[in-house]
């Protein structure tokens, strides 16, 4: 039993420490809030990766593979809806940014922001 957990930790450790998109958020947050701003991106990234690893660890992949066609269709539809949402958000945020160019507010990074970034 202990070897299973040890293997799980050894497998996830390189993924957790490798730089990615969350590295840019951590760097930006550190530059804006010094060392105090580094904790939030680290915790959010770690929680996101561990959550993903646990879902895979409890055989979510096996469940998806058992009803492959239905799940892949559902994932495809949800993915398309999510991409439409992202494009709409990008367009509206671009319009708002062009209207409010004179206000340069730095948004604080939360654990939820970084957690959602890992997906």
pLDDT tens-place values along the chain, 119 residues long? 666 777 777 877 787 777 777 777 777 777 777 777 778 887 887 888 788 778 777 766 677 667 777 777 888 898 899 999 999 988 888 888 777 665 666 677 777 777 776 65
pTM of the predicted protein model: 0.42
DSSP 18: S
At a CB cut-off of 8 Å and minimum separation 6, what does 32 contact?
106
Query: What pLDDT, on the 0 to 100 scale, is given for residue 104?
Result: 61
């Amino acid at each position: 039993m202990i070897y299973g957990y040890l293997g799980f930790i050894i497998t996830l450790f390189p993924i957790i420490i490798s730089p990615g998109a969350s590295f840019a958020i951590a760097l930006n947050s550190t530059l804006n809030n010094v060392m105090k701003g580094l904790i939030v991106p680290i915790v959010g990234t770690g929680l996101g990766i561990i959550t993903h690893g646990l879902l895979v660890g409890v055989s979510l992949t096996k469940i998806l593979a058992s009803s492959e066609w239905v799940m892949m269709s559902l994932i495809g539809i949800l993915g398309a809806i999510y991409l439409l949402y992202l494009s709409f958000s990008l367009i509206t945020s671009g319009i708002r940014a062009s209207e409010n160019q004179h206000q340069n507010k730095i948004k604080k990074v939360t654990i939820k922001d970084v957690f959602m970034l890992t997906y």
